[in-house]
Every structure is written in C-alpha cells, then in structure tokens.
Amino acid sequence: MKVFKFGGASVKDANAVRNVSHILSLFPKDQLIVVISAMGKTTNAMEQIVDALWKRDEKRYLELIEDRYQFHQLIAAELFPEKHYYIYQQIEELFDSLKNRFHLPVSDNYNFEYDQIVSLGEVLSTIIVEAFMKEEGHLTTWIDCRKVIRTNHEYREGEVDWAKTEALVNERLIPQFKDKRIAITQGFIGHTSEGFTTTLGREGSDFTAGILAYCTQAESVTIWKDVPGMLNADPKWFDDTVKLQKISFKEAIELAYYGATVIHPKTIKPLQNKGIPLYVKSFVDPGAEGTVIQESTDFDHLVPSFIFKMEQVLMSFTPKDFSFIVEENLGDIFQQLAFYGAKINLMQNSALSFSILFDRSKTDPIKLVEKFKDQYTVRYNEGLELVTIRHYDQATINRVTVDKDILLEQRTRQTIRMVMKNK
C-alpha cells in the first residue's frame, strides 16, 4: 500500500485534476490511498461562509456560497461534458443543503459550525476527483473519511483516537481493496463518537496521509506539491534555494518546528514510529526525484537550511518590584500569553528580565503591554526578522546578516537563531 496526498494547488482546476489522473496512471500496480484537500483556495472561502453565517449576514452567506458553487461547477463542466452525469446532482444537493443551513438552528459553538461547513470543501473536491478518475478508467472508490478518522470533541483541532481509527480503517477502508485498487478520500477531516464532523487543524491533510499510512502499515507516503521537494529555504525570501535530497525524520521535525512550512509537523511522528518513508515530490514533474524523509541522519548536515519569520515583535518584561525573574513570574507571564493566544517563537531570560519573540500578525503587543504594565516594565521592538539556520557555518551567517543589526542570538551546535533589524 502507498499513500498519496494531493493538496489544494494540485486540484485547483480541471487541468490539475487531469494531471492527478496522469500521476495515478504512473503507478499501475500499486494499491493506493489517495488523500485530497479542498480545491484551490476553497478552505479560505469556506471560512468566510462560516463567518457570514455566524454574523447572520444572509446576503453575504448566499453570495459566498454562489461563488464556491460556480467555482466547482466550472471545474466539473470541464471534466464531465455529459450534463446528466451523476456528479452534477451531488454538487447541487451539497450546495442546497449548505444554503438551507442558514435557517436551521445554529449551535452556540463556533468551532462546531466551522467544522460542519469547512469540511465540505474536501467532500466536494473528492467527489469530483473520484468521479473523474473513474471516467479515466482507474479502479477507484470514494471513502468518507468522516467515518474513518475518529477524534475527540475538540472542534477545529480534533485529536486523533488512534486505536479507534485503526479499527475503523480495518473495518471500512481495507476491505475496499478486495475489488478496488485506489481509495480516494478527504484530508483534514474526521468525526466524533457521535458522528459529528471534526477537522484536524489548518493544513491538516498531510497529517491525514500520515494517519492512514500508520494505520495501514503503508510502504510509503508521497506528498505531491508544486515545488520539486523540500527546499533549504522558502523561495519567497531566498534566491538560490537548494533541494534537500534526503533528510531524517528528526531533521524534518526540527525544520517544521522552526517554521519551515512544507510539511505539517504532526505528519512526521506517526511515520517515524513505523519507519515509513515520506516522499515530497513535484506534481509538475512526477518523474523527478524529490525529497525523501527517512530514518537515517547521515545526510542531514549536507545542506544548511534557512527559515525566515518576518514581522516579529521582541518584548521584554522586567518586574517593577525588582524581584528576580523566577518561576512565579514566568508562570504568570506564560499563563497570560497563552490566554492571549501568543505563539512564542523564541525566548530568553536574564536575572532581571524575560524576553519573548512572537508574530505581530497573531498577537497585538499593545494588548500585552496593557495586561502586564502594572507589574512589569514592558518594552518592545517591532518589524524584526527571525532567521534560523540549521547546520550553519560562518559563510551562511554572513549571507543573511548583510545590512542587519543583530538584537539577539542563540546558538547550539546545529542551529543558530538570530533576531535582526534592518540597519
């Protein structure tokens, strides 16, 4: 068994869907579980729909639904010239029930409503893709992942119940391979014990591929992307990026931790536990080698990796009563930061102050100052950049620090992290 994952960009229009069919045809002998995300930017659009529902803005709700309807309808129209094809009715029914939802009782749990609605992006995507694969002659079946992956009741961040999921995989997914060769299913979504839909967190489809590979003891997972593999830096910030050919699970977890966004970090652990290699390959050039993430650490040091985080805020807290920064202060600070949803990218303490670095886009520094100003002198600096280099040397440091002032630096043997400001 192999598990494939195709993200939103790989099914963003009719040609992209045709390309998925082409890639599947390159594996005529394998049993495949194919995990698919919502098409293009549909998840963002679905989030807007939930927002309109929540604000009771019916006009906007219906407009946004109409826009998504047209988007999927257009892709279907290009893929299925036969107008009476069953897929049209399925699309119609799905959108009708979404429209009608506006006048049904709304739960008072936003995250619950979110999951019931946003998950439909994946459902739509997979019914269209699966129908097309059938037309193309692939021996496929459509699997409803809302009946396979079991989670707790944490809507929008469902935690997987591994034992139950494994049992459901054995009961509902594996038997399909008696007479089918390819199972097409949704990424990102699961269900509670009562059968309500949950989601696994944004960009969670990679994780779905990891879960299903773990539960089926698959021989490998391949994530098909619009890049040639895992690169040593985001091309957005860096001109001459290099592809990482082979890295360890451990290294991939480190890179994801520091902010590399190629693979959802939760994906790697289940694969590491069972020693299942993860390939990252280009859907544009499926014959090319890509990156393989596997057990051996022998290759990790070959290419230095750079991870950039922009628009950072560096904030320091000094207790006003001149007490040293000790456990009670830190406990208090952390609790408040968690309350404000601040995600800390780096921290440092000294005898008299404690500093944190966080994303400006996620946390408003003014709010934190307000909160802490009675007990602490709070200072902060905005518009900073955090660069992390794995497997650094002096040349790589020089390369990223041109015209920068370094405000803070942390080094271990493998990793250097620098908070910098333009000179």
Name the DSSP letter for residue 12. Answer: S
What is the distance between the alpha carbons of residues 245 and 232, in angstroms, rounded to a whole number? 10
Minimum distance of ligand ASP from residue 116's CB (angstroms): 15
What is the distance between the alpha carbons of residues 389 and 414, in angstroms, rounded to a whole number? 8
Minimum distance of Mg ion from residue 40's CB (angstroms): 8
283 phi/psi in degrees, rounded to 5? -75, -10
Cβ closest to Mg ion, residue 167 vs residue 284: 284
Cβ closest to ligand ASP, residue 181 vs residue 202: 202
Contacting Mg ion (CB under 5 A), which of 10, 31, 37, 165?
A: 37
Footprint of ligand ASP on residues 39-58 (CB under 6 A)?
A: 43
What is the distance between the alpha carbons of residues 369 and 333, in angstroms, rounded to a whole number? 12
204 forms part of the interface with Mg ion (CB under 5 A): no
Minimum distance of ligand ASP from residue 298's CB (angstroms): 30
Footprint of ligand ASP on residues 183-222 (CB under 6 A)?
A: 187-188, 202-205
Cβ closest to Mg ion, residue 204 vs residue 229: 204
Question: Which letter, b or e, does each residue of 289-311 get, where b requires 16 or more Cβ atoms within 10 Å of its Cβ?
Answer: ebbbbbeeeeebeebbbbbbbee
CB atoms within 10 A of CB 65: 23
Cβ closest to Mg ion, residue 16 vs residue 315: 16
Closest residue to Mg ion using C-beta atoms: 8
37 forms part of the interface with ligand ASP (CB under 6 A): yes
Footprint of ligand ASP on residues 239-258 (CB under 6 A)?
A: none
Q: Indicate the length of the chain as a whole number.
A: 423
290 forms part of the interface with ligand ASP (CB under 6 A): no
3-class DSSP state for residue 387? Answer: strand
What is the distance between the alpha carbons of residues 416 and 5, in angstroms, rounded to a whole number? 32
CB atoms within 10 A of CB 267: 28
Minimum distance of ligand ASP from residue 370's CB (angstroms): 32
Minimum distance of Mg ion from residue 347's CB (angstroms): 31
Instruction: Name the binder of 202 from Mg ion, ligand ASP, none, CB < 5-8 A by kind.
Output: ligand ASP
Closest residue to ligand ASP using C-beta atoms: 205
Element (H or E) spanning 390, and its range? strand 376-390
Residues 6+ apart with CB under 8 A from 309: 259, 345, 359, 385, 386, 387
117 forms part of the interface with ligand ASP (CB under 6 A): no
Say how many residues touch ligand ASP, by CB under 6 A.
12
7 forms part of the interface with ligand ASP (CB under 6 A): yes
Contacting ligand ASP (CB under 6 A), which of 6, 8, 68, 292?
A: 8
Minimum distance of ligand ASP from residue 188's CB (angstroms): 4
Name the DSSP letter for residue 101. Answer: G
Instruction: Name the binder of 363 from Mg ion, ligand ASP, none, CB < 5-8 A by kind.
Output: none
Footprint of Mg ion on residues 327-346 (CB under 5 A)?
A: none
Say how many residues touch Mg ion, by CB under 5 A.
3
Cβ closest to ligand ASP, residue 153 vs residue 202: 202
Minimum distance of ligand ASP from residue 37's CB (angstroms): 3
Closest by Cα among 208, 217, 160 to 185:
208
Written as six digits, the tokens of 401 are 């620090």
Cβ closest to Mg ion, residue 8 vs residue 190: 8
Asked whether the CA dihedral 41, 42, 44, 48 is positive or negative, the reply is: positive
158 forms part of the interface with Mg ion (CB under 5 A): no
Q: Which stretches of 149-267 are DSSP H helices?
A: 162-168, 205-216, 249-258
Minimum distance of Mg ion from residue 235's CB (angstroms): 19
What is the distance between the alpha carbons of residues 294 and 324, in angstroms, rounded to a whole number? 45
| Adjacent-strand bridge partners of 160 | 151
What is the distance between the alpha carbons of residues 70 and 123, in angstroms, rounded to a whole number? 16
CB atoms within 10 A of CB 399: 15
Cβ closest to ligand ASP, residue 43 vs residue 345: 43
8 forms part of the interface with Mg ion (CB under 5 A): yes
Residues at the interface with Mg ion (CB under 5 A): 8, 37, 43
Residues at the interface with ligand ASP (CB under 6 A): 7-8, 37-38, 43, 121, 187-188, 202-205
